[in-house]
Amino acid sequence: MWTGFYYDGRTAAREVVTITLQGTRLQITRADGTSMLWPLSLLRQTQGGLDTEQVRLEFGSEPTEALLVNDARFAAEIRAASPVAKRAIRRQWKTSQLIGWSAAAVATVVGAYLLGGPAAAAWAADRVPTSWEVAMGEGLADQVQDFQEVCADADSVPELQAVLARLTDAGPGSQYRFRVLIVRDSVMNAFAAPGGFLFLNTGLLKAAKTPEELAGVLAHEIQHVTLRHSTRAILREVPLRFLMTSVSGGSGVDAAASTVISLGALKYRRADEAEADREGMRLLGAAHVDASGMISFMRTMESQYGDAPTFVRYLSSHPRTADRIAGLEAFAAANRQQVTPLLDTKSWQRLRTLCET
């Protein structure tokens, strides 16, 4: 025999009742001595999966009657007494058990992601419509403008447009319309968003000594977009956040949606960085831009700031190593091209001092 609370579904009033098991039915006895019989096969359990919760059973359609039982023994004892009850009333799990299982589930999700996520992201990125990539890039651009000042756009800066056009015109053709946005920020940083959106900080413009160094940065970022590294980076994050949040009980859909406009998702794998460097060098050669500018910019940043990601975010998100620089020097030596200057001195100085007024 167990004690519980009965709700008739018509009012908010509750009655204290006693509950006994009669074969395949629950007998619910009220204070006035009258009783009701509820077939176990017709009951719906809507609460009580944990040992710290009340068991709530519902019966009938509108008005739906309900029975709440606070007795921690109820679920286990009634399940043991009747095979039918096992189908109607769930086993109650200890909170510690669920925590352990959740931890195991998280470990499984992370393991599966690490093994299969990158390959799946690459497969999906190659099939994402360009319009979706542009939408993601626009979302990132909106996020940047919410928190920082975009003080110039290549469309309105002839000098910057000239450098960009030299590179994009020399490429094999692209489904993207590239836009370069200048962000007023002293931190030396540049990054590419899906769909052709490139962002340069004013701090990076000042750090570049020549237009060829700037072109090297742009060529690298253009290839991140063209090779869909930016799209892959975001797609690698979405399923992991979706699954992790779902396992922890949150809204996986919300987590995935927020990732799409998350700057933090733009993290490239080492192989992506190496490919963007190598293909960026090819693009510089095709545009007849001195490719040594990319290497000299790397050397300047490495020698001046070393491993100081707090001050040089560009180095922390685009890791540079002596081996990579040596590899690019060898590539440049083996693929020499006739070069043509990008900008005259006055045009370059105007470009470097954008947004200073």
- Which burial class, exposed, middle or buried, applies to 112 when counting CB atoms under 10 A from its CB (0-12, 13-18, 19+)? middle
Flag whether pLDDT at 122 surpasses 70: no
Quickly list DSSP for 226-289: HTTHHHHHHHHHHHHHHHHHHHTTS-HHHHHHHHHT-GGG----HHHHHHHHHHHHHHHHHTT-
Q: Which residue has the tokens 């030396």?
A: 188
Mean pLDDT of 105-124: 53
Give the span between the Cα atoms of 198 and 218, in whole angstroms. Answer: 8
Give the span between the Cα atoms of 193 and 139, in whole angstroms. Answer: 9
Query: Using 50, 70 and 90 to split pLDDT, how confident is the model at 298?
Result: confident
CB-CB neighbours of 64 under 10 Å: 14
User: Please, what is the end-to-end C-alpha distance for the chain in angstroms?
Assistant: 83
Distinct helix (H) and strand (E) counts, the chain? 14, 11
Query: Using 50, 70 and 90 to split pLDDT, how confident is the model at 37?
Result: very high
The residues that bridge with 25 in the sheet, in sequence order, are 22, 39
pTM: 0.60
> What are the structural domains, with CATH classification, of the chain?
2-88 (2.30.29.30), 107-352 (no CATH)
- pLDDT above 70 as % of the chain: 74
Flag whether pLDDT at 311 surpasses 50: no
Q: Determine contact, residues 138/146, Cβ cutoff 8 Å.
A: no
Among 11-20, 166-175, 304-313, where is mean pLDDT lowest? 304-313
pLDDT, position 342: 94
Mean pLDDT of 117-138: 74
Q: What is the pLDDT of residues 338-352, one digit of tens each?
A: 899 999 999 999 999
User: 211-226 and 292-305 are packed helices; what angle lies between their axes, rounded to 10 degrees?
Assistant: 100
The residue that leads in pLDDT, 72 or 167, is: 167
pLDDT, position 187: 86
Flag whether pLDDT at 175 surpasses 90: no
* Range among 89-98, 120-129, 227-236 rated most confident: 227-236
